[in-house]
Amino acid sequence: MRVVSYFNKLNKISLYLAIFLIPIFFLPFAQSVLGYPKQILLLFLVFLSLIGWLGKQLIQGKIILKENKLLYFILLLILFLFFFSTVFSLWPVASFWGWPLSTADNFFALFSFLLLVFLFVNTFQTEREVFFAVLLLLISGAVAGLFLLFQLYGVFILPFDFSQTFSFNTLGSVYQAAIFLAILLPISLVLAFRIKKPIFWLILLILLGLIILIDFNHAWIVLLLGILTLAIFGLTGKIRAGLTTFLMALLVLSIFFLFFPLRFAGFPVLPLQVSPGLVSEIGILKAVYTEGIKNTLLGSGPGTFIFDYSQYRSPLLNLTLFWGTRFSSGSSEFLDWFITKGLFGGISLLFFLGLIIYFSIKGLTSQPSNRLGDEMRLGFLASAIALVGVGFLSPFNFSLWFLFWVIVAGLLFYNLKTREINLDSQFRRAVFSAIILAIIILGLALLLFQGQKYLAEVNYDKGIKFSQQGDIDRAINFTQRASLFNHSVDIYWRDLAQLYLAKANLIAQDQELTAEQKRRLTQENIASGVQSLNQAITLIPFNVANWNVRGFFYRNLIGIPEAGEIALESYRRATELEPASPFPYGEMGRVYILMAQDFSQKQMEKEREEALLLAIKNLEKAIELKGDYAPAHYLIAVAYDQQGREEEAISRLEEIKNIFPQDIGISFQLGMLYWRKEKLDRAQGEFERIIKLNPDYSNGRYMLGLVYDKKGEKEAAIEQFEKVAKLNPENQEVAKILENLKGGLPALQGIIPSQPPIGEVPPEIQQ
């Protein structure tokens, strides 16, 4: 029976590899170095394991299944409800595949996880095999923990740019890693005291040491829940006396760090943990459910929390530093489920968890034995209860969901009975063979499709790098390839449109082209940009980022007929999708100001005055939403200036500067107004103050140099522009200014200076 042995090895080894590799796996070739590669690897290994399991059953002539009809029914119900939530999602394609929304919260990932659970409980026949799987999981977690330890202390083992930061690790954020390790700790504790081998004590030391170093309150809550579960069963004699004593010490330690968070000397510096507050997320839940019965029952769709957050977040968040951040998950994973999967999805998941925990507790209390299997079962139960607790407190990433379902599989292993189905008839064998063939074809198709999508990500990543280097042609080339490999991702089309716009601007400045060539090539690139934008909006009209980029694109074309109106229409749509954000209102104000300038050139005074009034109206709305929104304050001053109210413009900026004295942007624009009014001493004072606040602020030094030049202080001007040149070594304009100054000429002799306006832009805008 060599064939049976081969299929058996394929089945088990693939599953063991999945359990060991997922926590530590990553790929450096795309923007998503963790979630997306883990998703593809899980699919590949689970598919191989499934082929091995099916082949083994066919050769043996019988199907051996572990079953609990109630638990299986609820799991299938969760999958069924998740599928319907996906079908009626705001973005069904992304809710199905995950990228570019969430690689953990999508139908494809859930299907892979449930297949992993099925294979776990039906592949491993003995407690020894389950023990080996748990050992691999613990070793993998410890390896990931050791890597994180090196990262936290600046020992960067990997050569990749993205890994040269202390917060990078293979599990997710530093805090998600702490939760992952804390969930593993109860299982590690049980095995360390049961088997008493050095490897288990080493794993325990690594897990506990990192939890203490990171000192994250949610990780301590996880640990507390796990410890309390073990301790309660310890009172019934289910665990060894030595472990009970150790649990009491851990309990005291957890409570101490939870209520007295201390950062001792030598502890690593950690990043901020930022997420929407629980009250804010409950408000979003209420708003989503008021949209109709579909949202109430099925939610907005897997992975679509980012759209819900944009549309329903509170304007009070504009008072925080993270007002412009669009969160892709909330503060509670289970609350996210109720928002994105509705009442059906949320209740079914919690009911399943409650049921499996109930069966596990019932099984443990009804068996007085003290076998290794019972202790592992107790470890799984403690980790499961800890996972349920943290699900109400923190969002999950792919690694945490993977651990979640492995622990569920571990509990199911002890709660299922074995059933055999004979394949003795020719018909049954034929049907089963057809099923195997269909699964192989489907699996290969999925792998090829996922591989093609990952190839798109690799090309997109290259496009981003070339764009950052200023190589627009190659950036366009690779981003085009990405859109061809996966045409259903709006971010590819959105960024491609901005690259075409940048290319059109370069063509307009190219002195080697004739006027006719410039006109033709500019029109071609603008047309390609428009086509790309339309594709992005067609794919996902609910994404405010697409409308912001469309507004930005057409804002840069004002002067061309209807460009201003299209820009305004885009930003109006953005205000509907993100009503609490000041950005689209501020940008509408900017567009009206640019249109007013265009009307002025065309001597359309009435239209010019109306545009300026509308600009001020929209800018005041932006300020109403966010009182310290610097671009709106500046643009109102610009509008006043264009209305001939120059002193009011200066006065307004002076007032806001007094309120926000550390805001470099406001001070810079005030200095610009002083410069334009030739109040050189005041301008000099503002620009000098700016470079004291930020010595590397190139625009401040640039303008200070111009002020010195205007006042005849050539040496001081040269000193400033030399510092600007060091900060911007590729800037030809600065090099020309230095040449003019050293030659005794005015700084801007033969130069049209570029002065980018102040702006606070969302991440989708490339400038």
pLDDT for 756 beyond 50: no
Which one, of 310, 300, 385, lies nearest residue 337 by Cα? 300
Instruction: Please write the tens of the pLDDT for every residue from 12-28.
Output: 999 999 999 999 999 99
Q: Tokens representing 673?
A: 């107004």
Number of Cβ within a 10 Å radius of residue 235: 9
SS3 content of the chain, % helix, strand, coil (to 5): 70, 0, 25
DSSP state of 267: P
Helical residues (DSSP H) of 556-711, grouped into ranges:
563-577, 583-601, 605-625, 630-642, 646-659, 664-676, 680-693, 698-710
Residue 542 and residue 547: Cα distance in Å, rounded? 9
Which one, of 367, 339, 375, lies nearest residue 127 by Cα? 375
**Cα dihedral: 227, 231, 232, 238 (round 10):** 120
Segment 725-749 mean pLDDT: 83
- pLDDT-based confidence at 194, cuts 50/70/90? confident
Helix (H, G, I), strand (E, B) or coil at 70: helix
Number of Cβ within a 10 Å radius of residue 658: 9
Do the Cβ atoms of 137 and 171 come closer than 8 Å?
A: no
Segment 590-602 mean pLDDT: 92
Which one, of 165, 186, 183, 161, lies nearest residue 174 by Cα? 165
Q: Which residues of 702-721 are buried (b: 16+ CB within 10 A; e: fewer)?
A: bbbbbbbbbeeeeeebbebb
Q: Where in the chain is the domain with CATH 1.25.40.10?
A: 662-767
Segment 306-332 mean pLDDT: 89
Residue 684 and residue 701: Cα distance in Å, rounded? 10
DSSP letters of 257-293? HHHS----TTPPP--------HHHHHHHHHHHHTT-H
Do the Cβ atoms of 493 and 532 come closer than 8 Å?
A: yes
Q: Write down the mean pLDDT value for the chain.
A: 89
Q: Tokens representing 407?
A: 């622990």
Number of Cβ within a 10 Å radius of residue 458: 17
pLDDT for 241 beyond 80: no
| CA–centroid distance for 246 within its chain | 39
* Residue 70: C-alpha distances to residues 63, 195, 344, 409 (Å): 20, 34, 17, 15
Do the Cβ atoms of 74 and 352 come closer than 8 Å?
A: yes
Residue 524 and residue 517: Cα distance in Å, rounded? 11
- pLDDT-based confidence at 688, cuts 50/70/90? very high
Lowest mean pLDDT among 21-30, 79-88, 469-478, 647-656: 647-656
Do the Cβ atoms of 437 and 78 come closer than 8 Å?
A: no
Segment 562-572 mean pLDDT: 95
Report the pLDDT value the prediction gives residue 386, as an integer from 0 to 100: 94
Segment 433-438 mean pLDDT: 84
Topology of domain 662-767, CATH: 1.25.40
Report the pLDDT value the prediction gives residue 757, as an integer from 0 to 100: 43
pLDDT for 730 beyond 80: no
pLDDT for 579 beyond 90: yes
Report the pLDDT value the prediction gives residue 509, as an integer from 0 to 100: 79
* Length of the chain, in residues: 767
Task: Identify the residue with better confidence: 19 or 433.
Answer: 19
Helix (H, G, I), strand (E, B) or coil at 380: helix
Segment 320-338 mean pLDDT: 90
DSSP state of 418: E
Instruction: Please write the tens of the pLDDT for every residue from 108-138.
Output: 999 999 999 999 999 998 889 999 999 999 9
CA geometry: angle 87, 88, 89, nearest 5 deg: 95
Number of Cβ within a 10 Å radius of residue 31: 14
Task: Identify the residue with better confidence: 694 or 430.
Answer: 694
Number of Cβ within a 10 Å radius of residue 291: 13
- pLDDT-based confidence at 237, cuts 50/70/90? low
pLDDT for 621 beyond 80: yes
- pLDDT-based confidence at 245, cuts 50/70/90? confident
Q: Tokens representing 679?
A: 């109040």
Do the Cβ atoms of 186 and 226 come closer than 8 Å?
A: yes
Verdict on whether the full-model pTM lies above 0.75 = yes
Task: Identify the residue with better confidence: 644 or 45.
Answer: 45
DSSP letters of 296-360? HHH-S-TT-HHHHHHHH--GGGGGSTTTT---SS-S-HHHHHHHHSHHHHHHHHHHHHHHHHHHH
Lowest mean pLDDT among 28-42, 360-374, 468-482, 653-667: 360-374
Instruction: Please write the tens of the pLDDT for every residue from 629-663.
Output: 878 888 898 899 888 888 888 888 888 788 778 87
CA geometry: angle 499, 505, 510, nearest 5 deg: 125
Residue 364 and residue 237: Cα distance in Å, rounded? 11
Q: What percent of the chain has pLDDT over 90?
A: 54
Report the pLDDT value the prediction gives residue 755, as an integer from 0 to 100: 46
Segment 363-385 mean pLDDT: 81
Instruction: Please write the tens of the pLDDT for every residue from 273-286.
Output: 778 888 889 999 99
pLDDT for 367 beyond 70: no
Segment 392-413 mean pLDDT: 94
Segment 544-565 mean pLDDT: 93
